[in-house]
Chain A
């Protein structure tokens, strides 16, 4: 029941995107997100859409999976659309009761909806094609310069990867405890908010205890293997840029330039 959450879940398959260096994927995702807010006009959106389509195609991940991740944020999307639709001042299109939909509002709402959808799909391509370990490795490597200003980059990356690693374990644990308590007649679905919150106690207490137990075990196992943080630590699989990674960087740069240029050009000749 709880395992349906896909946002941030790795999809195992073989593709060019899976093989890319995680740093490339991180940078590309950030560039893509920035591009969504920088690109202007229909031409800009079209280029972003093309880029996204290409990534989806190359990733070999069924589109179904990306849409599943969207379900979690449908609510947020709705709120954004509704607010933009009704609260943007401008030329009124039509009025329902006290609410007026303006032309500008409609445009803005559509734009925001497209942006958000692209943003979520774009970042879920990254998480679907990169294992959490690769992701934190990439992040650690990208943030390494911050070490100079005394930011414990390795420790932060380690904490992140442990946290990510624990999510599926804790979900499974929740599922198990839930079933065990349901077998004892517990009810997690009925009743008002206060009653339901109270009914969560038999679930949360064992879950916390088990989380602490697991954390303790893990800390012990790490110490037993002489873990001592990031200084001079070598990696089993050091990150190394390949030809395909450099090509991707070049392509992403070209995408950004073309997008900005095309958007502005289209706008200047009155297409945006």
Chain B
């Protein structure tokens, strides 16, 4: 059970003067159960890439395999694929449309043709998973706060019980508190359900704490693909492509430059704290 991208390229406006190569020979394997951060600067092709994963876009060349089947071959059931690979777009609250939260979350399972009871069970489970309080279930989604709306929208995709959940910039436009809440909730959800999660972001600080693999995109190509601590070692190259390592990486680097020999092999503030304490005990 995995997604495999084999030499995938995508060109916008092919055969015109304005042709743009959005994806350039991308090769990836996304195995089951991983928590992946997909990082890239604006226009690096990350949004284009995730839209290929559930068949919304077709590659100009190359193939994509879901559980061993080519998703763009004839007769492949795209609708089923879209229920297995759940994609939450940027600003997902902009797609809410029903009169109350619960009915809106039911939209996905309803489209799958599930019986009513199953549909409602799934909607209920999904809303539980995103941590929305029950008092909001029968309110209009338009009366909720930004963060709450976003939870409802994520629940709308979760209710289809995907095996892979892709979140495109789930924290865009949220305040720091809302951002942490959403990310913590996603991490918790990942732990509880064990599904594969792909978190698209342009901020390393957002993902460093949670993911166990980082894919860095630059100009349509995969620039780095490794565990976070390995990727952050390339912080100078990351800066060149308009990204940065988490702030804590820079702190540790500065300490080392000042002759305080702490390890630079840390990715989170917790680890940095331990490392600095260890250093202080040594001296």
- Which residues of chain B are near A202, meaning CB under 8 Å? 95, 97, 107
One of A144-152, A178-186, A241-249 contacting the partner: A178-186
How far is A183 from B156 in the complex, measured between Cα atoms in Å?
A: 10
A193 within 8 A of B: no
B87 within 8 A of A: yes
B54 within 8 A of A: yes
One of A18-26, A80-88, A205-213, A257-265 contacting the partner: A205-213
How far is A181 from B157 in the complex, measured between Cα atoms in Å?
A: 10
How far is A202 from B110 in the complex, measured between Cα atoms in Å?
A: 13
How far is A202 from B142 in the complex, measured between Cα atoms in Å?
A: 14
B97 touches A185 (CB 8 A): no
Known: A202-B107, A209-B142. A181 touches B95 (CB 8 A): yes
A201 touches B97 (CB 8 A): yes
Closest to B93 in A: A206
- Which residues of chain B are near A206, meaning CB under 8 Å? 94-97
Known: A183-B82, A185-B79, A185-B112. A205 touches B56 (CB 8 A): no
A183 touches B87 (CB 8 A): yes
List residues of B (31-64) whose CB comes within 8 Å of A's CBs. 51, 54, 56
Name the one of B51, B94, B142, B156 contacting A184, with C-beta atoms under 8 angstroms.
B156
Closest to A64 in B: B16
Closest to A203 in B: B97
Chain B positions 89 through 109: 1 when the CB is less than 8 Å from some CB of chain A, otherwise 0: 100101111000000000110
- Which residues of chain A are near B160, meaning CB under 8 Å? 184-185
- Which residues of chain A are near B107, meaning CB under 8 Å? 181, 184-186, 202
How far is A116 from B86 in the complex, measured between Cα atoms in Å?
A: 48
Closest to A173 in B: B94
- Assign chain B's interface to a size class: 20 to 34
Q: Which of B96, B97, B157 neighbours the largest number of chain A CB atoms within 10 Å of its CB? A: B97
- Which residues of chain B are near A108, meaning CB under 8 Å? none
A184 touches B157 (CB 8 A): yes
- Which residues of chain B are near A155, meaning CB under 8 Å? none
- Assign chain A's interface to a size class: 10 to 19
Known: A206-B94, A206-B95, A206-B97. A183 touches B56 (CB 8 A): yes
How far is A180 from B107 in the complex, measured between Cα atoms in Å?
A: 12
B83 within 8 A of A: yes
Instruction: Give A193 Cβ to nearest chain B Cβ, in Å.
Output: 19
B193 within 8 A of A: no
Chain A positions 166 through 204: 1 when the CB is less than 8 Å from some CB of chain B, otherwise 0: 000000000011011111111100000000000001100
Instruction: Give B166 Cβ to nearest chain A Cβ, in Å.
Output: 9
Q: Which of B82, B95, B107, B108 neighbours the largest number of chain A CB atoms within 10 Å of its CB? A: B95
How far is A162 from B87 in the complex, measured between Cα atoms in Å?
A: 33
B111 within 8 A of A: yes
- Which residues of chain A are near B142, meaning CB under 8 Å? 209
Known: A184-B160, A185-B160. A179 touches B89 (CB 8 A): yes
A185 touches B51 (CB 8 A): no
Instruction: Give B78 Cβ to nearest chain A Cβ, in Å.
Output: 9
How far is A182 from B94 in the complex, measured between Cα atoms in Å?
A: 14
Closest to B107 in A: A184
Chain B positions 150 through 183: 1 when the CB is less than 8 Å from some CB of chain A, otherwise 0: 0000001100100000000000000000000000
How far is A184 from B105 in the complex, measured between Cα atoms in Å?
A: 10
- Which residues of chain B are near A185, meaning CB under 8 Å? 79, 82-83, 107-108, 111-112, 160
Instruction: Give B180 Cβ to nearest chain A Cβ, in Å.
Output: 24
Known: A182-B56, A186-B111, A206-B94. 6 other contacts (CB 8 A): A180-B92, A183-B87, A183-B88, A184-B95, A185-B108, A209-B142
6 pairs, CB–CB < 8 Å, chain A vs chain B: A181-B107, A183-B82, A183-B157, A185-B82, A187-B111, A206-B94
